Amino acid sequence: MFLESAKKEGWIEVICGSMFSGKTEELIRRLKRAKFANQSVEIFKPMIDVRYSVSEVVSHDSNAIRSTPVESPSSILLYAGDVEVVGIDEAQFFDKSIVDVCQQLASNGVRVIVAGLDMDYLGKPFGPMPDFMAVAEYVTKVHAICVKCGNLAHHSHRITKSDKLVVLGEKDAYEPICRHCFNAIAK
């Protein structure tokens, strides 16, 4: 009997939500599990994200995992090599070519796990995230708790004065709020 070698399947997983919802925490958890299973793993983040560390992906709870900061999505293809799992944090900061890069990786048999904000501070879809959610096999939306009323929050409300789309910050610049509180502030 002739047995063909099993074809390695790849896919895309998306973890999205507001700030302080646990996106990076969930990404790190999934990547650590893959490492525990002796899978080869590479983690990438945008070079502009230097809030906690230049070379690590770090959650708000200070969990960390080594990563490679990249300037552009095409660099990921150069560094990914023969890995089985690729993790990407803060995907909303990349241009839309990140989606094609991840599709190529998945088509080549790589499990791709992407984490990012699904909406910007104005409540609009953020960067490539809507495209990711459309092409991903698995989408997990995580929620924070509204700091104003205690309901589930899915908005990242900016509390600093700036009209720039990208303002890197933490609790000094953003707070998680629910739809009701977001709409009340927007009026």
Strands 144-145 and 138-142, bridge-based pairing: unpaired
Active-site pick, 84, 90, 137, 175? 90
CA–CA distances in Å: residue 120 to residues 19, 131, 152: 10, 15, 17
Q: Which token pair is 172?
A: 């000094």
What are the start-end ranges of the E strands in 92-146?
111-117, 138-142, 144-145
Tokens 């502030």 map to which residue?
185
Using CA atoms, how far apart are residues 17 and 143, in angstroms rounded to an integer?
A: 6
Residue 25 annotated to the active site: no
CB 173 within 8 A of CB 167: yes
> Which residues touch 155 (CB under 8 Å, ≥6 apart)?
18, 119, 123, 176, 177, 178, 179, 181, 182
Supply the residues annotated as catalytic: 90
